[in-house]
Amino acid sequence: MKNIKTNIKKNKDTEIINNTKSIIINCAGELIAKYGYDRVTSKSICEKAKVNIAAINYHFGSYDGLYIIVLKEVHKYLLSIEELSELYLDNLTAKEKIERFIDIFIENYLNKNNWYINVWVREIINPTPFIEQILSQEAVPKLNIVSKIFSEYTNIPSSDPMLYSCIINSISPFMVIFLTHNTTKMIDVEKMIGIKSSRKELISNLKKFIFIGLDGIKI
């Protein structure tokens, strides 16, 4: 009975700690999305989260440690490695996998109403010293899976640098849409050149151009 009570207490303590960490991460993300990494302090985060000023150092080691966790959460939200792995193993054609990859990519990146996107926009436009660590730990493993999917379609070996050029060229147009969608001061290109099309039509056309390019270099 004593052991059961001890385990229950430990589980409750763990739940409280996890809830506190989650609250801090979300409050940090919201503030950083609004003001930027270099204009947010541990004090302002703790005030928003309604926790002790020492909570950030206790749970994350430092403000920088917290920011790294925030960036990891952002990467997980945008496109998780579990999601990619599931897609790679799915019983779809190579073309269907690439189309689904693009759909997931766009669906997550164009959701403007959350702090994850705005934190990442800030990090892309004004990189912090932590971006290399995040790309190495979070982006590279995902890129390895994406390269296998594109390799299936093009028959270009994953070890061939040309394959990575294909992936970058395929993603780049959507990154432009992403930045346009999430940067308030961006010029309205569609209005400027007189294009009248829905985002759905634009994405559909970009997919067509991507596959024209990929078909042209198939082995």
Is the pTM higher than 0.95?
A: no
pLDDT value of position 168? 86
What is the rounded CA–CA span in Å between residue 135 and residue 140? 6
Task: List, for residues 35-87, the tens digit of each pLDDT value.
Answer: 999 999 999 999 999 999 899 999 999 999 999 999 999 988 888 899 899 99
Residue 97: pLDDT above 50? Answer: yes
Task: List, for residues 131-169, the tens digit of each pLDDT value.
Answer: 999 999 998 999 999 999 999 999 999 889 999 888 888
Domain 2-61 falls under CATH 1.10.357.10: no
Handedness of CA 171, 180, 182, 71 (dihedral sign): positive
What is the rounded CA–CA span in Å between residue 127 and residue 168? 19
For the domain 75-216, what is the CATH superfamily, name and number?
Tetracycline Repressor, domain 2 (1.10.357.10)
Of 97, 121, 109, 158, the closest CA to residue 33 belongs to 121
Q: Return the structure tokens found at 5.
A: 């009570």
Where is mean pLDDT largest: 27-31, 100-104, 193-197?
A: 27-31
Q: CB-based burial of residue 16 (10 Å sphere; 0-12 exposed, 13-18 middle, 19+ buried)?
A: exposed
pLDDT value of position 184? 47
Chain position carrying tokens 């950083």: 32
In the chain, list all ranges with CATH 1.10.357.10: 75-216
Query: Radius of gyration over alpha carbons of the chain, in Å?
Result: 21
Residue 10: pLDDT above 50? Answer: no
pLDDT value of position 7? 46
Residue 177 or residue 94, greater confidence: 94
What is the rounded CA–CA span in Å between residue 74 and residue 77? 5
pLDDT band at 199 (very low <50, low <70, confident <90, very high): low
What is the rounded CA–CA span in Å between residue 26 and residue 49? 9
pLDDT band at 8 (very low <50, low <70, confident <90, very high): very low
In the chain, list all ranges with CATH 1.10.10.60: 2-61
Handedness of CA 123, 133, 41, 75 (dihedral sign): positive
Round the average pLDDT of the chain to a whole number and report it: 82
